[in-house]
């Protein structure tokens, strides 16, 4: 009889898994049903493809779903987990309803066997890592007033629960590269002044590596590498200087820890115009306007985050900065302190595949710093730049992202003011020059530049 029951359970199990799709080519353990003492063990990652109801049936005391197993349900799918009682009748342990708009997951936090009456404590659904946090509490109207007043009053006074925060893998690389182009614009104006106006054209290779750890809850973490170029030109007319430039970079962003397995590829294009006016030979006003268009694309090698695979969106960054500086000079060597004001906007378009609306952040900002140059000889100059930027809004430019069709949001990035430092050397060869520099942006980002310039 026992053998017949086990055989029946096995047949039910095979039938119930007919709608399972095993996903390969991703990181993590593969789906497996293995023999165990007296029954079967289910482990790994299972992706149900049936948009209706799928079933898992366990034989009492013998079959188990092992801790760490991940069950994926399609949009609108439903999963029912059964056990077989002593009479051979299936009894429902738990019914799990998938999300109506997104792929959803259940991760088992401990073993579940055929003796269970409910899911393990802590087992919770995740909707493609996009579950909106918190459950709204209905507010009755009119507000009921109990009579008589309940007593005694609870001590301490209870407080409402904290709403769950939701995060997604996102970066500020689009913003960082825009600011790097703005810095190149100011450097072009400064070089034009030092070269007594005229016309110049600089071509720069830009290579960057860095890492990022979000402030606050420190959930979003990533490493990045960037390669690209920038073309900057300037022309001087009397006390005026005009400039412009174009840049392109390709970046690879690898998310860490919570979002391990997700990569983001970023193509960035910058367009820059600049201008300056020399009040005296030592005091001047400069301004730079940079526009950046960015194409983002996610790739995921993690089954838990398959919803992100091939998700795409565009972003744009507009950065306007104006600076007033005055030199303290000795021939070719000098130090120029400066103060500046500006405004920056970052707009991230909606992500259709994830059901996320656009996000937009704008803030006025102020900059204080100093630029310096030391002439080692008539053909070799050392130069450096140190600056700090403060946002008056005290918020990042990458703001909250709301869900389009359901309540909830993705948290904004959380980063402080921007601290930048650069040091480099410039070699002058008649009408040509070669420049190499290292820039530290916001402590964790390392930027390497090699430039070639010509003057007309």
Confidence of residue 25 (pLDDT cuts 50, 70, 90): very low
> Scanning the structure block, which residue is given the tokens 């450096």?
384
Tell me what the mean pLDDT of segment 322-326 comes to: 97
Q: What would the two tokens of residue 312 be?
A: 């795409």
State the average pLDDT for the chain: 80
* pTM, to two decimals: 0.68
When comparing pLDDT for 45 and 205, which is higher? Answer: 205
Is the four-CA dihedral 183, 189, 193, 199 of positive or negative sign? positive
Query: Of 247, 291, 294, 225, nearest to 266 (Cα)?
Result: 294
208-232 pLDDT, tens digit each: 888 898 887 788 999 999 999 999 9
pLDDT of residue 63: 77
The 10s digit of each residue's pLDDT in 392-404 is 998 999 999 998 8
Q: From residue 49, how far is each of 30, 33, 103, 164, 237 by CA, in Å?
A: 17, 18, 10, 29, 68
pLDDT at 197: 61
Distance of alpha carbon 435 from alpha carbon 432, whole angstroms? 10
Identify whether the C-beta of residue 233 lies closer than 8 Å to the C-beta of residue 247. Answer: no
DSSP strand E in 256-282: where? 262-278
Cβ partners under 8 Å of residue 27, min gap 6: 261, 301, 302
| DSSP structure string for 186-248 | HHHHHHHHHTTS-EEEEEEEEEEEEEEE-STT---EEEEEEEEEEEEEEEEETTEEEEEEEEE
Where do the domains of the chain lie, and which CATH numbers do they carry? 2-126 (no CATH), 173-455 (2.40.128.130)
């Amino acid at each position: 009889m026992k053998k017949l029951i086990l055989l029946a359970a096995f047949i039910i199990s095979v039938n119930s898994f007919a709608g399972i799709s095993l996903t390969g080519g991703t990181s993590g353990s593969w789906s497996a049903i293995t023999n165990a003492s007296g029954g079967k063990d289910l482990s790994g990652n299972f992706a149900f493809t049936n948009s209706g109801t799928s079933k898992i049936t366990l034989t009492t005391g013998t079959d188990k779903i092992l801790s760490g197993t991940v069950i994926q349900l399609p949009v609108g799918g439903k999963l029912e987990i059964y056990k077989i009682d002593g009479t051979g009748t299936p009894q429902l342990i738990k019914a799990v309803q998938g999300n109506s708009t997104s792929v959803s997951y259940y991760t088992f936090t401990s073993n579940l066997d055929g003796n269970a009456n409910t899911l393990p404590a802590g087992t919770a659904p995740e909707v493609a890592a996009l579950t909106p946090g918190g459950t709204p509490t209905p507010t009755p109207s009119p507000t009921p007033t109990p009579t008589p007043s309940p007593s005694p009053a609870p001590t301490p006074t209870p407080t409402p629960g904290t709403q769950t925060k939701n995060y997604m893998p996102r970066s500020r690389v689009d913003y960082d590269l825009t600011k790097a182009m703005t810095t190149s614009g100011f450097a072009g104006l400064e070089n034009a002044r030092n070269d007594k106006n005229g016309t110049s054209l600089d071509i720069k290779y830009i290579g960057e590596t860095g890492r990022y750890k979000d402030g606050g809850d420190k959930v979003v973490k990533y490493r990045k590498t960037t390669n690209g170029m920038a073309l900057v030109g300037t022309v001087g007319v009397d006390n005026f200087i005009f400039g412009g430039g174009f840049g392109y970079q390709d970046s690879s962003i690898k998310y860490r820890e919570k979002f391990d397995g997700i990569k983001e590829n970023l193509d960035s294009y910058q367009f820059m115009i600049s201008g300056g006016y020399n009040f005296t030979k030592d005091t001047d006003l400069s301004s730079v306007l940079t526009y950046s268009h960015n194409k983002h694309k996610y790739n995921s090698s993690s089954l838990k985050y398959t919803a992100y695979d091939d998700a795409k969106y565009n972003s744009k960054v507009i950065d306007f900065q104006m600076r007033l500086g005055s030199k303290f000079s000795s021939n070719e060597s000098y130090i120029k302190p400066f103060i500046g004001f500006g405004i920056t906007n970052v707009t991230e378009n909606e992500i259709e595949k994830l059901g996320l609306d656009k996000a937009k952040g704008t803030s006025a900002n102020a900059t204080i710093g100093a630029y310096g140059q030391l002439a080692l000889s008539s053909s070799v100059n050392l130069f450096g730049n140190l600056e700090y930027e403060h946002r008056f809004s005290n918020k990042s430019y990458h703001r909250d992202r709301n869900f389009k069709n359901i309540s909830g949001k993705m948290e904004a990035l959380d980063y402080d003011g921007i601290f930048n430092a650069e040091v480099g050397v410039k070699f002058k060869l008649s009408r040509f020059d070669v420049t190499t520099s290292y820039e530290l942006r916001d402590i964790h980002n390392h930027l390497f530049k090699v430039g070639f310039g010509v003057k007309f």
